Structure 1
Amino acid sequence: MTPFIHYTLLFECHADYFECHEVLEEAWQADGRRHHGYAALIQYAVIHYHLRRDNLIGAKKSLRLLRQKVDVASPYLNELGLDVEAFISQLDEWPLITTLPLQQEVRETVESLKPSFPTTELSFEELVHKHLHRDRSDVITERELALLERQRARG
């Protein structure tokens, strides 16, 4: 399963926007942050996550950032199988639509996978506040090591 298909299934089956972000973040990082389509879709998931948490300021800021990226991202989004014209058009609809506009062949693939896609065991509240429950120990350790390296380099 490609990261984009996984993202789409998480987006449409679970509305797990936080996990959508994580799936594409990993793929984007692995690609050296060159895939502008991943960056745009990460931003799109962030918008939905903010909206569900009633963070309208965060959602609007993220939407503004997405609009700045979408022209550069369009060829990458098209290559992934997104109907780019419909996607851009949906950015003007409020609230945002909770299904992705996919090219026909990709839509058929996603629909064929939905019945076998595992259901989420998370409650709605857990989905809404997922960022509060994640294990950030690896990130904290990495930041502490970077701080130590900077301190060593200084003196």
Structure 2
Amino acid sequence: MTPFIHYTLLFECHADYFECHEVLEEAWQADGRRHHGYAALIQYAVIHYHLRRDNLIGAKKSLRLLRRKIDIASPYLHELGLDVDSFVAQLDEWPLHTKLPLQQDVRDTVESLKPTFPSTDLSFEQLVHKHLHRDRSEVITERELALLERQRTRNSASPY
């Protein structure tokens, strides 16, 4: 299953926007952050996550950021199987759609996978506040190591 198909199933079957972000973030990082379609869809999931948490300010800010990326992202989104013209038009509709506008062959694939896609065991509350319950220990450790490395570099460069 491609990261985009996985994203779409999470988006439409579970409305797990946090996990949508995680799936494409991993693929985007693995690609050296070159796939602008992934970046745009990550932003789209963030908008939905903010909206569900009643964070209208965050949602609108994220929507503005997505609009700035859309021209560069469009060829990548088309290549993934998104109906880009419909997607862009839907960005002007409020509330935003909870079903992605896909090219027909991709829609057929997604619909064929939906019956076999495992259901989530998360409650609505857990989905809404998922970012509060994740294990951040690995990220924190990486940041601490990076800080130590920067301090070592500064100290070794200092003439004193």
TM range (shorter): over 0.9
Could you tell me which runs of 5 or more consecutive residues in structure 1 were left unpaired when the two chains were aligned: none
- Tell me how far apart the structure 2 counterparts of residues 66 and 86 of structure 1 sit (CA, whole Å): 15
Q: CA RMSD of the aligned region, Å?
A: 0.3
Q: Deviations over 1:93-133 (max 9, x none)?
A: 00000000000000000000000000000000000000000
* 2:158 match: none
- Tell me how far apart the structure 2 counterparts of residues 90 and 154 of structure 1 sit (CA, whole Å): 49
- Tell me how far apart the structure 1 counterparts of residues 46 and 147 of structure 2 sit (CA, whole Å): 28
- Tell me how far apart the structure 2 counterparts of residues 58 and 46 of structure 1 sit (CA, whole Å): 9
| Aligned 1:101-116 pairs, distance under 5 A | 101-116=101-116
- Tell me how far apart the structure 2 counterparts of residues 144 and 73 of structure 1 sit (CA, whole Å): 33
* 1:30 match: 30
Could you tell me which runs of 5 or more consecutive residues in structure 2 were left unpaired when the two chains were aligned: 156-160
TM-score by length of 1: 1.00
- Tell me how far apart the structure 2 counterparts of residues 75 and 84 of structure 1 sit (CA, whole Å): 8
Return the letter of the residue paired with 1:122: L
Question: By how many angstroms is 1:154 displaced?
Answer: 1.4
Q: Percent identity?
A: 88
* 2:133 match: 133
SS of the residue 1:118 aligns to: coil
* 2:151 match: 151
| Aligned 1:1-155 pairs, distance under 5 A | 1-155=1-155
- Tell me how far apart the structure 2 counterparts of residues 22 and 2 of structure 1 sit (CA, whole Å): 14
Runs of 4+ aligned structure 1 residues displaced above 2 Å come to none
Q: Deviations over 1:49-85 (max 9, x none)?
A: 0000000000000000000000000000000000000
